[in-house]
Structure 1
Amino acid sequence: MKIRKRYLPPLNAIRAFEAAARHLHLGKAADELAVTHGAVSKHIANLEDHLGFPLFTRAGNRLSLTERGHKLLKASNAALDQLGYAIARLDGEAIEGELRISVPPAFAANWLIPRLQAFRQRSPTLRLYVLASNRTTDVLDDDIDLAVRFGKPVWKNCAIRLMAHVRYFPVCSPKLLAHPPGLATLADLAHHTLLFDDPEGENWKRWLDHADLRQVEPRGVLYFQDFNHILAAAREGLGICLGDPITTGADLAAGSLVRPFEQSVEDLGAYFLITPQLASPGARVFADWLEAEMVSFMSSTTAG
């Protein structure tokens, strides 16, 4: 929906509201904006008249935001940040401030961190807080500016970008292949331990069905909740796990893991990038960089 400009309140009123809402004090807002207390009060009154609902509740000199006031403050911060960022880019200035991103631990360790220096060189004044989480609900809580998740796009009231569909395949340590019983054929999987990343082994069941190995019963099963632990177990030769190019690409390139078979299955989930509808300038820049990095990586993986 396109908002007609005549419905937008004056910028001075938004600035006065944002300052007052941040300080919860008209006098402090007036000092910050270098205007009088009365000017701030008048701007806020005009804004409330324009919108048709109150933004503050008042008890003497004390202010508190209404529910709609909280929503407008969040939107105002994002909009003013965007405007400041656009002006800064015109002057060639770097983005400053903090950026809180939430990513799955395995994605961070095996894909993001090896590429993060390139982003820091491009935006050296942006302070990054990388928080590890696999949580699939309320992913933007705790003041998170941007999240990466694997799964299905079920998140509401946010902006979602598809980063990558992936296919998964078995990987194991080279030393597991070097000793009997080895993995000369698909049927040899029955002599090995399978490493599960889901308690019921549904991903392995899908892969085995795809390989026409529905009747294969592995020698054993090990389940790990954290995918980094699964990869560590696979490197140690404890069993065979399923991986994708993003989580196992570095290990495959280094030779610490190998693909004993070429069969792969497209995962039912995908990697998604999630931001608030009004993303901060830092989140927009990081999202654009992350998306470009992923496109380049997946293109090279496909080409390989």
Structure 2
Amino acid sequence: MSRTLPPLNALRAFEAAARLGSLSRAAAELHVTHGAISRHVRSLEEALGAPLFEREGRGLALTARGLRLRDAAGDAFATLQATWGALQRAREPAAALVLGCPGSLLARWAIPRLERLSAELPTLTLHFSAREGFDPALSGLDAALLLGEAPWPSSWQVHALAPERIGPVLSPRHAQLAALQDAPPSALRGAPRLHTRSRPQAWPRWFAAHGLETADANAGTGFEHLTYLLEAAVAGLGVAIAPLELVQADLDQGRLAAPWGFVETGGQWALCTTRGSDDARIPALATWLRTELQPGR
């Protein structure tokens, strides 16, 4: 009897390579060799009688068949992971909810609110996992708290919490504070600017919202993580761009100033789970997060 499903290991190798756009990165994620990933993909192509990838420079591009299989495989693995997690939680009802979130969000927004969270949701135990990227299966997580925007992975169930608002901030120690704080937004084109690689669209979005040319919007010093960016801003090294909620405490304490205010980007704060998750703790957490993210909270 012929197989009606492809081999699981081959499908897993293909899904990782398709999602990551690289055989090498797929091999690293699955802890196998580059050759093993290549053989698995080749076996699927031979069984299908058609290519799943095409070479594109040094990278890979999915064929039409490859795109269909990637989406189906990603959804299937996400569903399996969600179901397996639900079965484990049913066996261990007291297990902590594993919540992933970017390190800057964890340090600057979540941790200062943990005492209030514990008081208002006393039956919820959280285990935080700091990470900067989230795969479609939300591997190792029950949920993810993040700032992002559509399109979201099709395997996610997204609980929208609040709109993302960003704005330029600078320190009272900044050498140009007196000249800048009463200047129009256009003055920032000539000021030393700081940006982060995790949100490269932040400065361009802010410039566009003020009717300014977006070319070279990210000129200036870049940082890998928002936490480092904001520490540089507090030290007076330049004007940073950041979400309001992550700098609110600095604004309240006078460590930073925001002379030009904040604008919505079209992005949002979101609590994400795998589609089909029936974890009863998620709606309660989403409601609490929405309340915490209300202006003036």
Scaled to the shorter chain, the TM-score interval is: 0.5 to 0.7
Match of 1:175 among 173, 192, 199: 173
Q: How many residues align?
A: 218
Query: What SS does structure 2 have at the residue aligned with 1:196?
Result: strand
Counterparts of 1:106 and 1:217, CA distance in 2: 25
Q: 1:176 to 1:203 in 2, by over 3 A?
A: same
Q: How does 1:1-304 map to 2 (within 5 A)?
A: 75=83, 78=86, 81=89, 96-122=94-120, 127-138=125-136, 140-142=138-140, 144-153=141-150, 154-176=152-174, 181-186=179-184, 187-198=186-197, 202-214=201-213, 221-262=220-261, 264-279=262-277, 281=279, 284-285=280-281, 287-300=283-296
Q: 1:179 to 1:169 in 2, by over 3 A?
A: closer
Shift of 1:130: 0.7
Shift of 1:183: 3.5
Q: Tell me which amino acid in the other structure corresponds to 2:146.
A: R
Counterparts of 1:286 and 1:117, CA distance in 2: 19
Shift of 1:108: 0.9
Give the percent of matched residue pairs that are identical in Structure 1 and Structure 2.
22
Counterparts of 1:198 and 1:73, CA distance in 2: 30
Q: Tell me which amino acid in the other structure corresponds to 1:138.
A: P
Q: 1:150 to 1:180 in 2, by over 3 A?
A: closer
Counterparts of 2:149 and 2:177, CA distance in 1: 39
Q: 1:278 to 1:205 in 2, by over 3 A?
A: closer
Contact 2:161–2:271, Cα closer than 8 Å, also in 1: yes
Contact 1:192–1:219, Cα closer than 8 Å, also in 2: no
Shift of 1:120: 2.6
The structure with the larger Rg is 1
Contact 1:191–1:219, Cα closer than 8 Å, also in 2: no
Q: Which structure 1 segments of 5+ residues have no match?
A: 1-67, 86-94
Contact 1:172–1:234, Cα closer than 8 Å, also in 2: yes
Q: 1:269 to 1:295 in 2, by over 3 A?
A: same
Contact 2:203–2:218, Cα closer than 8 Å, also in 1: no
Contact 1:98–1:127, Cα closer than 8 Å, also in 2: yes
Counterparts of 1:227 and 1:72, CA distance in 2: 34
Q: 1:139 to 1:169 in 2, by over 3 A?
A: farther
Counterparts of 1:230 and 1:113, CA distance in 2: 19
Q: 1:121 to 1:207 in 2, by over 3 A?
A: closer
Counterparts of 2:237 and 2:264, CA distance in 1: 25
- Let me know the Cα RMSD of the aligned residues: 3.6
Contact 1:174–1:257, Cα closer than 8 Å, also in 2: yes
Shift of 1:233: 0.8
Q: What does the per-residue CA deviation read over 1:35-71, in whole Å, with 9 as the maximum and x for residues that have no partner? A: xxxxxxxxxxxxxxxxxxxxxxxxxxxxxxxxx9xx7
Contact 1:181–1:188, Cα closer than 8 Å, also in 2: no
Q: 1:170 to 1:214 in 2, by over 3 A?
A: same
Q: 1:216 to 1:184 in 2, by over 3 A?
A: farther
Shift of 1:222: 0.6
Q: 1:288 to 1:177 in 2, by over 3 A?
A: farther
Indicate the residue corresponding to 1:38 in structure 2: none
Shift of 1:236: 0.7
Q: 1:177 to 1:80 in 2, by over 3 A?
A: same
Q: 1:107 to 1:159 in 2, by over 3 A?
A: same
Shift of 1:75: 3.4
Q: What does the per-residue CA deviation read over 1:173-203, in whole Å, with 9 as the maximum and x for residues that have no partner? A: 1222676654431243244211112489542
Counterparts of 2:196 and 2:296, CA distance in 1: 26
Counterparts of 2:264 and 2:244, CA distance in 1: 12
Counterparts of 2:114 and 2:199, CA distance in 1: 34
Q: Which structure 2 segments of 5+ residues have no match?
A: 1-75
